[in-house]
Amino acid sequence: MTEFQRICLVHYHEIGLKGHNRSTFEMRLLKNLEALLKPFPVVVIHRIAGRLCVFLREGTDWTTAKEAADVIGKVPGVARVSCGFKCERDLDEMTEAALAAMAEAGEFDTFKVAARRNHTDFATGSMDMNQIIGSALCAAHPEKSVKMKKPDVTVGVEVVQNAAYVYARSLPGVGGLPVGSSGLVVSLLSSGIDSPVATWKLARRGAVCIGVHFSGRPQTSDASEYLVDDIAQVLERTGCIARVYAVPFGDYQREIALTVPPELRVIMYRRLMFKVAEEIARRERAGALVTGESLGQVASQTLDNIRCTDAAVDLPVFRPLIGTDKLEIIAEAERLGSFEISSQDAPDCCTLFMPRSPETHAKLPVVLEAEAALPIERWVPEIADAAEVRDYACPAYKPKKKRAS
């Protein structure tokens, strides 16, 4: 039996609608995949007929190819990934490759062949290829049946200019746009369930994400910082986070708690966090802030309170979870792989010096009057300067050069 070179065929949807900018998005996805697949025996990645094709080294086994496809499917910008083989543009070889691909497709009862001829210099048309290869598969697997609508397995055959690509096992991807195609954002990242999901959603829209974690240190332990690092490592697997700033925030919360009316503490914490995040965004040249807020979920997330916190900054604030409930967010956290980490208890700034009855309908003039008693202008650069930075592997991120003093 012929031994064919293994490939992973990367399908995308949204990128294909980008018109004249399409090649830029394709190249960004290609570069991301090159970096994220370094642990695997990848020979090269090429753009082929509206797809990206990952060529694996000859002799690569099925398990390794499957693991590579699993990684590819989690990379933003990928709509679907298919495991298969490269072969000659010869019907006998294509049929043999189809049999090999079908053998690795897992359990199934029904199938169909979907052939596509991208160049008319190949004499056999798509419909004829369907019939010829399909008949051979039926003869080899008489216990299986052909089903044209929603079969268990679709055997794909792509004939291009110099080769043919045949596959059967396909996995859905996360979709969206490649990280690095939509600019830079700063995400307020806690060790809880919501903010990692919000960060991931922005990464799926092509943004390079930089996290800012407000730790209760030194008023609490630094346990939440370790959990955030674990979360960042989950996001790092698919290039969805570039760096995290860990901000010691506890002493400033204590000063706020001693100065402002108790019911306004949460609003003051949030406004100061936003201002510090905006300062870090300015230094990183980011274009927006991101939070994991969901409307009405807690006291700080009412419409009135959101308006008061937004008024603290000039940058737009994105809230990708604003219309979702907790069960939906948990499901997304499980899909991402951060839920178990976020479920661990750790003291952080969110639970520090909390009032018994926080304000749920704050008025901006009242908030500004109370905030006037705080040295906010001095605090913001002071807090940003004290942040500790940890970088993660994000192919699309290029750290800004420090200006000479």
What residues are designated binding site for ATP? 188-189, 213-214, 270, 292, 301
DSSP states of 158-182:
EE-SS-EEEEEEEEE---SB-TTSS
> Which residue in 49, 75, 69 sits closest to 165, CA to CA?
49
The token pair that represents 86 in the structure block:
């490269």
Torsion on CA atoms 246, 248, 252, 257, rounded to nearest 10: 90
Distance CA 85, CA 6 (A): 5
The token pair that represents 292 in the structure block:
């994991």
Please state the residue numbers annotated as binding site.
188-189, 213-214, 270, 292, 301
The token pair that represents 65 in the structure block:
């190819």
Residue that is written with structure tokens 């109370």 in the block: 370
Count how many Cα atoms sit within 13 Å of the Cα of residue 52 in the half-sphere of its side chain. 31
Cis peptide before 365 (omega within 30 of 0): no
Residue that is written with structure tokens 């954002």 in the block: 185
CB distance 166 to 97 below 8 Å: yes
> Which residue in 104, 125, 30, 25 sits closest to 60, CA to CA?
104
CB distance 205 to 175 below 8 Å: no
Pinpoint the alpha helices (H) of 81-171: 91-103, 126-140
> Which residue in 382, 320, 351 sits closest to 191, CA to CA?
351
User: How many other β-carbons are positioned within 10 Å of the β-carbon of residue 328?
Assistant: 13
3-state secondary structure 22-50: HHHHHHHHHHHHHHHCCCCCEEEEEEECC
Measured in degrees and rounded to the nearest 5, phi and psi for residue 40 equal -105, 155
